[in-house]
Chain A
Amino acid sequence: MQDLLFYVFAAVALIAGFLAVANPFSRNPLASALFLAVALVAVSGLFVLLHAFFLGAVQILIYAGAVMVLFLFVIMLLDLREEQKRRARKVAAGLASALALALAALISAAALAGGGPADPPALEGGARALGRALFTDFLLPFEIVAVLLVAAMVGVVWLSRKEAA
């Protein structure tokens, strides 16, 4: 059952990710954003299969929720209709895709070549253990991320003012 779910989530993530970056049916950025949301939800399913339950919830809340809403908002704010008419340069695009896919094939072949241990120990992925570690051992990275978020927020507010000084 878990093996089947792994293949389902992996296939959904890969197909939706491909449709997000290179949709053969439409060049509308909105369609890409929605496919990206589907891929992110599938990756969150993979997190749950890896017993990282809290991370699965965080992934859906922050990525598929907040970040994707931000993307959709900006896509709708900009008028990108004329962008859709442009055609990609065929040679460069083909070369770049071939390079990236060769890299992916190399890494996945290397990953699949070594057989893993048959029975990996369970990962404690609940909110209780994570919360305790977050405020004891991981206090410094937590505070650094907090400062980073404040800095990013101030920067975004300054950047998106009506007229830049």
Chain B
Amino acid sequence: MITAHHYLAVAAMLFGIGLAGALTRRNSILVLMSIELMLNAANLNLVAFGRQAGWEQGSQAALWVMCAIAIAAAESGVGLALILAIYRHRRSAHLDESPPLKG
């Protein structure tokens, strides 16, 4: 019998994989992809809790997941535009050579 705890465990492992990727990879696009993976793990957690809570709270959880998906889409769009702008200046998407930020 699969309970919500199994989904929580899968989400935790997915989050761990995303966190490891965000910490270890130095290519900024791959870091952004790892962040997407972590966001997905959080969404999976929300849906599992929503199913556990029954359909009234469950549809609330689903709505928050939809908000999270929209925000993640906006975030990846802005992030990719930033990477593109930095790449135009420095010909590199490598994080160790990030532009010298001042202020």
Residues of A within 8 A of B (CB): 2-3, 6, 10, 13-14, 17-18, 20-22, 29, 32-33, 36, 39-40, 43, 46-47, 49-52, 54-55, 58-59, 62-63, 66-67, 70-71, 74-75, 77-78, 80, 83, 86, 88, 92-93, 96-97, 99-101, 103-105, 107-108, 111-112, 114-118, 120-125, 129-130, 133-134, 137-138, 141-142, 145, 148-149, 152-153, 155-156, 159-160, 164
Residues of B within 8 A of A (CB): 1-10, 12-21, 23-27, 29-30, 32-34, 36-37, 40, 43-44, 47-48, 50-52, 54-56, 58-60, 62-67, 69-78, 80-85, 87, 92-94
Q: What are 18 A-B pairs with beta-carbon distances under 8 A?
A: A17-B14, A20-B21, A21-B18, A39-B37, A46-B44, A47-B44, A63-B40, A70-B77, A71-B76, A86-B26, A101-B16, A107-B8, A111-B8, A123-B54, A141-B64, A148-B71, A149-B74, A155-B81
Output the least CB separation between A64 and chain B (Å): 11
Majority secondary structure of chain B interface residues (helix, strand, loop or mixed): helix
17 more A-B residue pairs beyond the given contacts A67-B73, A115-B3, A125-B62, with a C-beta to C-beta distance below 8 A = A17-B14, A21-B17, A36-B33, A43-B14, A52-B58, A59-B69, A62-B70, A66-B73, A67-B36, A83-B27, A92-B24, A96-B23, A100-B16, A120-B52, A121-B54, A123-B58, A149-B74
Which residues on A sit within 8 Å (CB–CB) of B78?
152, 155-156, 159
**In the complex the two chains form, is B62's CB within 8 Å of A67's CB?**
no
Which residues on A sit within 8 Å (CB–CB) of B12?
103-104, 107-108, 111
**In the complex the two chains form, is B87's CB within 8 Å of A46's CB?**
no
**In the complex the two chains form, is A122's CB within 8 Å of B55's CB?**
yes
Which residues on A sit within 8 Å (CB–CB) of B54?
120-121, 123
Which residues on B sit within 8 Å (CB–CB) of A137?
60
**In the complex the two chains form, is A21's CB within 8 Å of B25's CB?**
yes
Residue of B nearest to A44 (CB): B40
Which residues on A sit within 8 Å (CB–CB) of B26?
86, 88
CA distance A58 to B64 in the complex (A): 13
